[in-house]
Amino acid sequence: MAKKAVVLLSGGADSATALACARRDGFDPCALTIDYGQRHRAELAMAEKQAAHFDAKHLLLFADLRPIGGSALTADIDVPEGRSVSEMAHGIPVTYVPARNTIFLSLALGWAESLGAGDVYIGVNALDYSGYPDCRPEYIAAFEKMARLATKMGVEGKQAIKIHTPLIGMTKAEIFRLGDSLGVDFSLTHSCYSPTQDGKACGRCDSCLIRLKGFNEAGIEDPLPYAVRK
């Protein structure tokens, strides 16, 4: 029987590729999706479909980050539109959710320990990463070290603890090519921060613009419908 690994699955294209990587690496992936009260709810349904696509166990956990505030993804702050990728590269954007990856990795760690698994996958990437501090390799290394001290499995030494970041050094184009080669169905992914009422990606937020540029560079057709597509 394959070893279990918990995979953080947001419903976006990167985490779908991370899920495919866990399968490639021989794990039995257990996909964890966090409903944190995000405005872009469409990704939750996509996560469920993507988990089914890869025949992975799926857990949807509710952890309400809205009262914490401080982000355009959960609070009533405007999501920026129409920025160039080089503009995005400067500073940390308003779509940053305070401590989000730390909260998500902690929840993943808790479920992993309960499952008897020491492996966690997260689809962060540090290249085309839109300025989030909690996507960098030094952050992941520090989390891993902390996790080994935090848990019963870590302290008792029965289980190695490893945070896998298969995409961390890749460009978006490389991620999409990898996902494509590993069988990700990109029509079952959602990346937009501000989808339209009829469920189309806006085509103007940072996330859409990075995604479209990546697909373009990868030479793969993005199967999603967009409200605006340059």
Nearest distance in Å: CB 185, a copy of itself: 26
Query: Which is closer to a copy of itself, CB of 127 or CB of 187?
Result: 127
Kindly tell me which of 52 and 229 has the beta carbon lying closer to a copy of itself. 52
- How many Cα atoms are found within 13 Å in the side-chain-facing hemisphere of 125? 23
Which residues, 6+ apart, have CB-to-CB distance to 145 below 8 Å?
Answer: none
Q: In what order do the strands lie in the sheet with 119-121?
A: 28-35, 4-8, 119-121, 162-164
**Cα→Cα distances 148→3, 31, 145, 153, Å:** 19, 21, 5, 8
**Closest distance to a copy of itself from the beta carbon of 30 (Å):** 11
- Shortest approach of a copy of itself to residue 12 CB, angstroms? 20
Shorter beta-carbon distance to a copy of itself: residue 45 or 115: 115
Give dist(CA 14, CA 172) in Å, integer. 8
What is the spatial distance between Cα 227 and Cα 64, in angstroms, rounded to a whole number? Answer: 29
Min CB(141)–a copy of itself separation in Å: 9
Interface residue list for a copy of itself (CB under 8 A) = 59, 61-65, 67-70, 92, 96-103, 105-107, 109-114, 133-134, 136, 138-139, 142-143, 145-147, 149-152, 154-156
* Closer residue to a copy of itself (CB): 30 or 184: 30
User: Which residue, 74 or 189, has its beta carbon nearer to a copy of itself?
Assistant: 74
Q: How far is the CB of 55 from a copy of itself (least distance, A)?
A: 20
Cα–Cα distance measured from residue 19 to residue 25, given in angstroms and rounded to the nearest whole number = 10
Name the residue with tokens 């540090």. Answer: 126
